Structures are given as structure tokens and as C-alpha cells.
A and B are shown apart, each in its own frame.
Chain A
Amino acid sequence: MSTTKHPSVLAQTVSTPVILIGGLALIAVLTWAFGSNIFGRTVTEMFIRVALVVGMFTFIGNSGVISFGHAGFMCIGAYGSAWLTIPPMMKKVLLPGLSPMLANAELTFFLSLIIASLFAGVIAFAVGLILMRLSGIASSIATFAMLAVINTIYSNWGPVTGGTSSVVGIPITTGVWISFGGAAAAVVIAYLYGISRSGLALRAGRDEAVAAAASGVDIYRERLIAFTISGALCGMAGVLYAHFLGVVNPDAFYLGVTFISLSMLVVGGMSSLSGAVIGVVLISAIIELLRKMEKGITVGEGTLSLPNGIQEIAIGVVMIVILMFRPGGLTGGAELSLTRTSANDGYSKKDQGSGNHPDNKPRR
């Protein structure tokens, strides 16, 4: 046995989730102490997005495969919780096609949070059994097709989902602290996955799929594990969102949220957990600022207001600028850490996957 010492992965990297959760906790405390009701809602929405984007990062960041479909798991989680928590009397009217078991269910928020998140994870696993065999752009397009399929089902299965109408009556329970708890839980789960065997193997496959296979890594299996966990986390974000607004609609989980959440991931840094969290906080701040400016800011005796839609344009511009000048995102793929480490046991230094695939066999 060697006498050479090697640093523990946990000891090297645990400061990252501590810093991230600490930062989010500070925002929550300041909001609770000094924030207005409206600001509280903004912060709550930001925490929900942290849970969503961290969930997406768990798959995208570790595998290098861009997914356009994770908003679909958010939708599944949100509707799952709606089915479990809306009072039965309302469900009989709004959702007459529900099975008797669901129609009569009226679970507590926390129980439905767990069940609906797991349900989203199970659906991610089932879809992943097929999609994770694909790679590169084919895989990304397939995730987008999956999103379209989920949206179409939820928009047209009227008796069960309410169709394109909004489903109301969801108990409003998500506030600053519950959403903070969801975001913190997502950070912890993503971190633990990142330092796990599967997380290391998947990042190796992202860097060099061919060499990973030659090292005994079953990339399909590792991608499936990450996809399932990330589906469950996005489902949890959906549950939090449903219980934040008290109403769900399929279009709330479609292209808009997909664009915003991917923008947050790209801006922060696609291959680091810190990047995912920082991207959400930064883009949320920009959105909030622009939202206020769209409504108008009083300057002297006049009012300065920006045209509607400027939020989306600004986010697009920010993303283009980041991609041009800092392709690895603001963090460049590095993690916030108190320890000085040259090895990135948790996450990678660079940003994007190589696009390699186990099927890209080396040829003569």
C-alpha cells in the first residue's frame, strides 16, 4: 500500500455547497428582514429557478449534453402536485377524468412534494431509457421533441389536466423559506451526485467518451442516472412553482421557461454548480430591474420607461456577449471554494462537452 496521501474529495469540495447555500440563506434572511411583499415574491421565484437550473445542471453540466426538455419535468411535477393537493370537490369539477384515487386525494404539501418529484423522476427514467442512447445534437433535439410531446399531452388531455385552461385551487404554500429549502436541497443533491462515482464517470465521458468507455464506464447508464435525478429535481421545482402561484397551465412550462433557464445556465457557467446558482441570481436580478423599468421609473417630473419585451431582448444580448467573450460562462466552469485546489474533483474547469460519443469509435 502506498504511503502517498491523497486529499479526500469531500474535504476538498464541501465548501462549494456551503458557500452557495450560505449565499442563498443570506438573501432569504435579508428578504425576510427588510424586503417588501413584492420583493419576497421575486426572491421566492428566484429560489424556485435555482432549484430548476441546478436540476438541469445535474444532467447538462455533468454529461455535456444540452437538454431543451427539462421544463417538461417541471410541468409533470407541478401537475402531479396539483392532482394530489387540490380539494376533491374542486377536482370533480375541474378535472373529472382523474382516477378515483387521485380525485379523492388531498395530501399535505410536503408529501405531495416528495411524490410528485419522484413521479417526475420516474418519467425521466422511462424517457431516458430511449433518449440516453442518443448523443450530441440528436440527443438535444430529442429532448426538445420530448418537451413538445409533454406539452401537447398536458394541453389536450382536458379531463385530467384541464387542457389549456388554468388549473386553480392549488394550496399556496411556497414562500421565501420553503423555496429556499427547495433550492438548498437541489444544491446538496447536485453536489452529492457530482462527487459520486456516477458523477465522476459521467464527467469523464463528457471530456473523452471513447477513453471513458476504455476505462470501463458505461456512459449510457451514467447518463440515465443523471437524467433521472435531474428530472426529479426539475419536478420538485415544478411543485414549488405550482404552490407558489396556486395555478398551473401547460404553457408556463414550455418555451419561455426553457429559454430563461438555459440562459441562466449558460451565463453562469454550464459546467459548474456555482455557475448554475450565480447565473440564476444574476439573470433574475436583471429581469427584475428591467421589469421595473418597463413599468416606468420616475425621474424628476417625468417617467422613464422601457418598451415591453425588453427583458427577453436584454437576456438574449447578455447571453450572446457572454458566449462571445467568456464561453465558459462567468465562472468559467470553476467552483466557488474556500480551499485552494488544482484538482477539480467536484466539477470541471472548462465549460462544454467535447461532443464525443461512445459510438464515435476511433478509426484508422
Chain B
Amino acid sequence: MTQPLQAKQVSVSFDGLRALSDVTLDIPPARVSGLIGPNGAGKTTLVNVLTGFQSPTTGSVVCDGRDVSGLSAHKLRRLGVARTFQGGRLFKDLSVLDNLEVTGVGLGLTRREAASRAVDMLDWVGISHLMTDIAGSLPYTDERRVGIARALMMAPSFVLLDEPAAGMSAHEADDLADLIARIVKDMKCGVLLIEHNISLVLKICEHIHVLDSGELIDEGDPAHIKTSEKVLHAYMGTQGDVDMQGAIL
């Protein structure tokens, strides 16, 4: 896919409460973008809108030049928009292999074909030793890695990673950064990284979007975000001139 995944002037209201206001954002193909913001900024709501789990109240979502607003999640996945979840949300009663196979059969493969692709993906991510484990028995970090492998099945055009580094050690976060770089390099997949680990975002994202109280308050490259007054204000309130990187880490 050569065109970006776009949110155009997206607003979402829940019973009068405005969760997103006129958010416009592009996720370009084969690049890593970041989405940051304090708790309650609307990051997950935006991810839900971009992946078909939430219809925008106003505005639109465009994929491959086509308006896909209101399309259901499974149909958007078939168009190549994949995601992970904050809580993992693995199919806990199924094996790791089956967790990946589900995406294969969901996208039209036979079980044999899906199993073969799933094995390849587990190898690629480096977790083939987990293949026969029951997903519900995995430790937290492995659960995250399986969630990413499941999302990457069938080479999606875009993948939205919702807090993949939560609970990871610095070493594990470095491994995750390497994996994300490989996703872009090997799969030519556009990545949106939603994270509270700002150092990770600043390290690997080429372009970063900042949400606060449902509004996109700033965007730019890491150098710009590090020095942005608006971003600092969103994270630190009005406490003055504090170095962004030092303050948040």
C-alpha cells in the first residue's frame, strides 16, 4: 500500500463527553510513527477509530484512498489494518500457534496454510519455542510478543501497537525496538506506536503525534517534540521550563 492510513477531522463523543475533537493524523506506509499523550488523552479511542472498533461521531478514516469510516473491525483487518491491545487479549484457551492461525483463517486461508504461515511468523519474531504453549499460561512479556506476532500475520499494511512496552524491562524494550525496526524494513509495514515509554518513542519514531484531552496538540520529529512547550505543558501542567526528556523518563 502506498497511501497513508488517515484520520480526517475525527471527533468521538460518548454520551455528550467528547473523547476526540477534530483529530487529523496520517500514518505513512513503511515508517514508524508515534502517538503519545497523558492518561485519558484519547489515544486508545483514536486507535479504536482507526481499526474499526469505534465509529467516528464526525470525520472520516481513509485507507488506501478509500473512506472506510464505519467499516467493521474484521473488514478493516482484511484491508490490512492490524492492531495489538493493551491487555494482550490473546485467545487464552488456544495454543500460541492457534492464536496466530486464527488470523490466517480469518483472512481466508485453510488451516494447513494458516498453520504454515503461523510457524513462519513465530520463527521471524523469534518465539517458535512457544508454539505449543497455551496462551493463557504465558508470562507477560511473551504474551506481548505473541500479540505482536498475531497482528503481523499475513503481512498487514499498517499495524497499530497499543502500549507494547508496558511492563517490559529496558533490555526487553530494546528488543522490541529492534523488532519494530524489522517490521518496517522487512515487511514495509507502517507502524503507529502508542506508548507511555517516551524514550522508546523518541528513539524509534520518525514522526510523533501528541494528544491531550482529545485534541492533537502537536506533532513533529523527535527533536521538535522534545522541545515543544505544548507537549511539556500537557505532561507537566504549568510547572515551568523542565527538560522534556528528563522530566518524563
Interface residues of A (CB under 8 A from B): 1-2, 4-7, 9, 195-198, 200-201, 203-204, 207-208, 210-219, 271, 333, 341-345, 348-350, 358, 361-364
State whether A345 touches B89 (Cβ < 8 A). Answer: no
Q: Which residues of B contact A214 (CB under 8 A)?
A: 51, 53, 73-74, 77, 82-83, 85, 89, 151
For chain B, residues 100 to 116, give those with C-beta under 8 angstroms from any C-beta of chain A: 101-103, 105-107, 109-111, 114-116
How many angstroms between the C-alpha atoms of A210 and B128 in the bound complex? 25
How many angstroms between the C-alpha atoms of A271 and B94 in the bound complex? 13
Q: Which residues of A contact B134 (CB under 8 A)?
A: 342-344, 349
Please give the distance in Å from A206's CB to the nearest CB on chain B: 8
Q: Which residues of A contact B14 (CB under 8 A)?
A: 363
How many angstroms between the C-alpha atoms of A6 and B153 in the bound complex? 17
30 A-B pairs whose Cβ atoms sit less than 8 Å apart in the complex: A2-B116, A4-B131, A6-B118, A6-B119, A195-B111, A197-B111, A203-B93, A203-B94, A204-B91, A207-B92, A211-B89, A211-B150, A212-B91, A213-B73, A213-B74, A214-B53, A215-B74, A215-B150, A217-B106, A218-B106, A345-B95, A348-B93, A349-B93, A349-B136, A350-B92, A362-B44, A362-B53, A364-B42, A364-B43, A364-B48
State whether B95 touches A344 (Cβ < 8 A). Answer: yes
Q: Beyond the given A200-B94, A349-B136, A363-B48, could you list 19 further A-B residue pairs with CB under 8 A, ordered by the A residue number?
A: A2-B122, A197-B111, A200-B101, A201-B106, A203-B94, A207-B93, A208-B91, A210-B89, A211-B89, A212-B74, A214-B83, A342-B133, A343-B97, A343-B131, A345-B95, A348-B93, A363-B44, A364-B43, A364-B48
State whether A343 touches B132 (Cβ < 8 A). Answer: yes
How many angstroms between the C-alpha atoms of A347 and B103 in the bound complex? 17
Residue in chain A with minimal CB distance to B39: A364
Q: A201: which of B102, B119, B131 is its contact (CB, 8 Å)?
A: B102
How many angstroms between the C-alpha atoms of A176 and B72 in the bound complex? 49
Q: Does B163 contact A (CB under 8 A)?
A: no
How many angstroms between the C-alpha atoms of A362 and B150 in the bound complex? 18
State whether B54 touches A363 (Cβ < 8 A). Answer: yes
How many angstroms between the C-alpha atoms of A228 and B74 in the bound complex? 22
Please give the distance in Å from B96's CB to the nearest CB on chain A: 8
Q: A342: which of B74, B119, B132 is its contact (CB, 8 Å)?
A: B132
State whether B90 touches A211 (Cβ < 8 A). Answer: yes
Q: Which residues of A contact B94 (CB under 8 A)?
A: 200, 203-204, 207, 343-344, 348
Please give the distance in Å from A221's CB to the nearest CB on chain B: 9
Please give the distance in Å from A113's CB to the nearest CB on chain B: 30
How many angstroms between the C-alpha atoms of A2 and B73 in the bound complex? 30
Please give the distance in Å from A203's CB to the nearest CB on chain B: 7
Residue in chain B with minimal CB distance to A350: B93
How many angstroms between the C-alpha atoms of A207 and B114 in the bound complex? 19
State whether A2 touches B85 (Cβ < 8 A). Answer: no
How many angstroms between the C-alpha atoms of A362 and B119 in the bound complex? 29
Q: Does B212 contact A (CB under 8 A)?
A: no
Q: Does B123 contact A (CB under 8 A)?
A: yes
Cβ contacts B27-50/A at 8 Å (1 or 0 each): 000000000000010111100100
Q: Does B195 contact A (CB under 8 A)?
A: no
Please give the distance in Å from A198's CB to the nearest CB on chain B: 8
State whether A364 touches B73 (Cβ < 8 A). Answer: no
State whether A212 touches B95 (Cβ < 8 A). Answer: no
Q: Which residues of A contact B106 (CB under 8 A)?
A: 201, 212, 215-218
Cβ contacts B52-83/A at 8 Å (1 or 0 each): 11100000000000000000111001100011
State whether B45 touches A216 (Cβ < 8 A). Answer: no
State whether A363 touches B128 (Cβ < 8 A). Answer: no
Please give the distance in Å from A141's CB to the nearest CB on chain B: 24
Please give the distance in Å from A205's CB to the nearest CB on chain B: 9
How many angstroms between the C-alpha atoms of A364 and B53 in the bound complex? 11
State whether B120 touches A345 (Cβ < 8 A). Answer: no
Q: Which residues of B contact A198 (CB under 8 A)?
A: 105
Q: Does B215 contact A (CB under 8 A)?
A: no
Q: A217: which of B48, B51, B74, B109 is its contact (CB, 8 Å)?
A: B74
Q: Which residues of B contact A200 (CB under 8 A)?
A: 94, 98, 101-102, 105, 111
Q: A208: which of B54, B77, B92, B115 is its contact (CB, 8 Å)?
A: B92
Cβ contacts B125-137/A at 8 Å (1 or 0 each): 0001001111010
Q: Which residues of B contact A218 (CB under 8 A)?
A: 74, 106
State whether B103 touches A343 (Cβ < 8 A). Answer: no
State whether A4 touches B51 (Cβ < 8 A). Answer: no
Residue in chain B with minimal CB distance to A3: B123
Interface centre among B42, B82, B102 (most CB of A within 10 A): B102
Residue in chain A with minimal CB distance to B160: A214
How many angstroms between the C-alpha atoms of A269 and B106 in the bound complex? 27
Q: Does B244 contact A (CB under 8 A)?
A: no
Interface centre among B40, B48, B73, B106 (most CB of A within 10 A): B106
Q: Which residues of A contact B101 (CB under 8 A)?
A: 200
Q: Which residues of A contact B54 (CB under 8 A)?
A: 361, 363
Q: Does B19 contact A (CB under 8 A)?
A: yes
Q: Which residues of B contact A361 (CB under 8 A)?
A: 48, 53-54
State whether A216 touches B107 (Cβ < 8 A). Answer: yes
Cβ contacts B203-234/A at 8 Å (1 or 0 each): 00000000000000000000000000000000
Residue in chain B with minimal CB distance to A213: B73
State whether B98 touches A343 (Cβ < 8 A). Answer: yes
